[in-house]
A and B are shown apart, each in its own frame.
Chain A
Amino acid sequence: MSEQPILVVEHLETHFPIRRGLMRRAVGAVRAVDGVSFTVSKGRTLGIVGESGCGKTTVGRSILRLVEPTGGRVVFAGHDVRQTNGAALRGLRRRMQIVFQDPYGSLNPRMTVRAILEEGLVIHRLGDAAARRDRMHQALEHTGMAAAALDKYPHEFSGGQRQRIAIARALVLEPEFLVLDEPISALDVSIQAQVLNLLVDLRDRLGLTYLFISHDLSAVEHVADDVAVMYLGRIVEQAPAARLCAAPLHPYTLALFSAVPAVDPRRRRRRILLPGDVPSPANPPAGCRFHPRCPLAERVCREVDPPATRVDGHLVHCHVAARELERAGGDARVAGSRMADALASAPDIYSHSGAQSVAPAPAP
């Protein structure tokens, strides 16, 4: 597998202005994405996890400029996406496609499947009628749909089939890179595994690169080579999937993992419950953004934004984790288990703060 980066995101910022009053002046901004950096190598899959509202969807949409980023750089295959416009941007969009969460909302109800699939080909003037038909048949075949689907309307299909059509729409343009924005969260549990396996299979067969956005840690573990954990518009921890699962370091990641139900009852970890709600991204807390909810927060966490600590490919933004790593001589596994122990022995805030407590459980 080549390690040549296909997508480089540097300090990406997407702020949405809050407008008030008669003149619609901007009185503030929702910092949906606030300084996110990562790299995706060709043929690999980066998973982004985080709870609702942490900005992971906005990251995906900003990369394709479906929402306009307000700062930072996005470089796709050597092209600065933010500096590209017009026909050149259209050309880039053919090479990077997106699959949305809700297959009921992402397919135009007034268009037949044929019209939906053909649109991109017509816009990009790809092939004549016969060539377009071949490509559509091929895309449907890739996603396990029959060619007879072409003349039907989206409402005639089930959720899983619709998502397959949405994937076929992305594939028909033969892109190199796909943003998968919670592609399985809106589906029935029985269908989720099928679609997930289809995506993995397509990646391996077509050599695709994925940005897999999800709130479902187990799905990300299954698909992704690397995982980035987002909290309130920032990446708090990033590591190869196997490393992250074996030794999570950030308290938020640890809490997330404790919320995943374990199959083996003996391995069941103590559930770490975080107090309070996610703060508003319009007014993020000073210092470490996680500190108001972190059981291990210290004075430095309230004041200083934690810099990145890097231990061979494992990246974490946390003062406490940085100290533990240093004590453990750079052994993430030792540091991680010490963090977990500290969290487990932290005073049970849940019983003190009553019903205010909210676990970072994924939305249903």
Chain B
Amino acid sequence: MAHSGGFWAEAWRRYRRRPLALAAVAFVGLLILVAIFAPAIAGTKPVLCRYQGRLYAPCLGYFNRQWEPAIFTKDRFRGTYPQNLKDKDPESWAIWPLVFQDPFRAVRENEWPGRSENPARDEGRPSRQNLFGTDQAGVDVFAKMVHGTTVALLVGFVSMGIAGTIGILVGAIGGYFGGWVDSLTSRVTEIVMCIPTLVLILAIIAILEKPTIWHTMAIIGATGWTGIARLTRGEFLRLKNAEFVMAARAAGAGPLRIMLRHILPNALAPILVPITFGIASAILVESSLSFLGFGPPPPSASWGSVLNDARSNLSMWWLVFFPGVAIFLTVLAYNLIGEGLQEATDPRLREARK
């Protein structure tokens, strides 16, 4: 018999045979690249520039304002680099982002040689200068969306990271120890299940003085673990009496070792599926919040807040279409990945193939 590798190698082999699921992984990979390189794709700050004899990367200011080199504030650049660089140091040079547009402000007249001012209000339909059009204030939608990718991805990963950790922990403890411990964790799960996430988030945002996107993620994570906990509990209940678990106990293994080394790896595949679907729904929750106007406050951009801009003037179809398609494709991609995982790790399908 040929060496066929471990479980995950096998699962990946089966996953690869599904073109749609593979495309979904590629799409999420692309989003990750876009999020990481957002300042290099769209922005008005040089990716790299030489100024008064030294090298700087002002584009890092898009990740964190503190990371923008202080010298440009001192020299009163006020965020407009091309003209200032030329005026204050004729020797300077700069590598610019692919698209010269800012996600937070409209580009002004002659900021870039030969480029006119961004159109504002309902004039800003998609053009060569503004690929996805501009919003009411004349801010480029493409730049907003490129920079909003970070939020969309973070929301999914962070909130489901929190939810997955809580869910697996609670479910594992309840399922493995059983008895009154199980009764307790199950009741807690049911109580949390009754909390309406969206209403809780709105309430907390109303209470907090400075709500940020991190609060939203924490709440989605803190309420979204119930399904994962139930599934984990079921898997642990099923596996704790498996003969290989008994064999491990006979070898002297303690509860922690049995849970981590023997049960969890066997339970992980079915648990990953709802986590993937959870990422998709977390993105939807964040988009709905932003659409309602409770999204991350500026300067962080989000796809949902672009949608929110469209509410005041529905004739600006590009404000609905582009973020809508982006949200739709992302949610679809996660759902396809979840489905692919389910098919690739389903033990019944595994046996059927052999």
B232 CB, min distance to chain A CBs, angstroms: 16
Selected from B183, B251, B257, B266, the residue in CB contact (under 8 A) with A173 is B251
Kindly report which residue of chain A lies nearest to residue B244, judged by CB atoms. A108
Contact B243 A102 (CB under 8 A): yes
Indicate if the CB atoms of B266 and A169 lie closer than 8 Å.
no
Stretch at the interface among B2-10, B47-55, B86-94, B273-281: B2-10
Chain B min CB distance to A14 (Å): 15
* Cα-based distance from A193 to B257 in the complex (angstroms): 36
Residues of A close to B7: CB separation below 8 A? 109-110, 153
Q: How far is the CB of A7 from chain B (nearest CB, A)?
A: 15
What's the nearest-Cβ distance from chain B to residue A182, in Å?
Answer: 11
A: number of interface residues (CB 8 Å): 33
At the interface, is chain B mostly helix, strand, loop or mixed? helix
Q: Determine if A106 and B244 form an interchain contact, defined as CB atoms under 8 angstroms apart.
A: yes
Say whether B248 faces chain A, with CB atoms less than 8 Å apart.
yes
| Closest chain B residue to A158, Cβ basis | B1
B246 within 8 A of A: yes
Beta-carbon contacts under 8 Å, A62-104 to B: 64, 66, 90, 93-94, 97-98, 100-102
Interface residues of A in 92-132 (CB under 8 A from B): 93-94, 97-98, 100-102, 105-112, 119-120, 123-124
Which of chain A's residues has its CB closest to B8's CB? Answer: A110
Contact A123 B257 (CB under 8 A): yes
Any A CB within 8 A of the CB of B332: no
Alpha-carbon distance between A301 and B262 when the two chains are bound, in angstroms: 48
Asked whether A61 lies within 8 Å of B246 as measured between CB atoms, the reply is yes
Kindly identify, within residues 236 to 293 of chain B, every residue whose CB is under 8 Å from any CB belonging to chain A.
242-244, 246-253, 257, 261-262, 265-266
**Chain B residues, CB < 8 A from A24:** 183
Query: B248: nearest residue on chain A (CB-CB)?
Result: A119
B250→A110 contact, CB < 8 A: no
Residues on A with beta carbons closer than 8 Å to the beta carbon of B247: 98, 100, 106-107, 166, 169
A100–B6 contact, CB under 8 A?
no
* Set of chain B residues within 8 Å of A152, measured between Cβ atoms: 3
Q: Is the CB of B250 within 8 A of A66?
A: yes
Q: Which residues of A contact B265 (CB under 8 A)?
A: 108, 110-111
Contact: B252 with A90, CB < 8 Å? yes
In the complex the two chains form, what is the Cα distance from A61 to B241 in whole Å? 12
Contact B243 A64 (CB under 8 A): no
A66-B249 in contact given A105-B243, A105-B244, A106-B244 (Cβ < 8 Å): yes
Quick one: which of B242, B244, B257 has the most chain A CB within 10 A? B244
A3 at the interface (CB under 8 A from B): no
In the complex, chain B residues whose CB is within 8 Å of the CB of A119: 248, 251, 253, 261
A66 CA / B265 CA spacing, docked (Å) = 22
Neighbour of B1 across the interface among A64, A123, A156, CB < 8 A: A156
Closest A-chain residue to B269, C-beta based?
Answer: A110
Given A123-B257, A156-B1: A169 and B251 interface contact (C-beta under 8 Å): yes
- Decide if A66 touches B246 in the complex (CB within 8 Å): yes
Known contacts A105-B244, A108-B262, A109-B7: A64-B252 contact under CB 8 Å: no
Most chain A CB atoms below 10 A, which of B4, B249, B250, B262: B250
Q: Which residues of A contact B6 (CB under 8 A)?
A: 110, 112, 153
Q: In chain B, what residue has the closest Cβ to A91?
A: B252
A97-B266 in contact given A107-B244, A110-B6 (Cβ < 8 Å): no
* CB neighbours of A173 from chain B (8 A): 251
Chain A: minimal CB distance from B327 (Å): 36
The reply to whether A110 and B251 form a contact with Cβ atoms under 8 Å apart is no
Residues of A within 8 A of B3 (CB): 151-152, 156
Given A61-B246, A156-B1, A156-B4, also A108-B266 (CB < 8 A): yes
Q: Which residues of A contact B (CB under 8 A)?
A: 24, 61, 64, 66, 90, 93-94, 97-98, 100-102, 105-112, 119-120, 123-124, 151-153, 155-157, 166, 169, 173
3 tightest A-B CB contacts, nearest first: A120-B251, A106-B243, A90-B252
With A93-B251, A110-B7 known, 12 other A-B pairs at CB within 8 A are: A61-B246, A94-B252, A97-B250, A98-B246, A108-B265, A109-B7, A111-B265, A119-B248, A120-B252, A152-B3, A156-B1, A157-B1
28 residue pairs from A and B, CB less than 8 Å apart: A66-B250, A90-B252, A93-B251, A93-B252, A97-B250, A97-B251, A98-B246, A100-B243, A101-B243, A105-B243, A106-B243, A106-B247, A108-B262, A108-B266, A109-B7, A109-B266, A110-B265, A111-B261, A111-B265, A119-B248, A123-B252, A123-B257, A151-B3, A153-B5, A153-B7, A156-B1, A156-B3, A166-B247
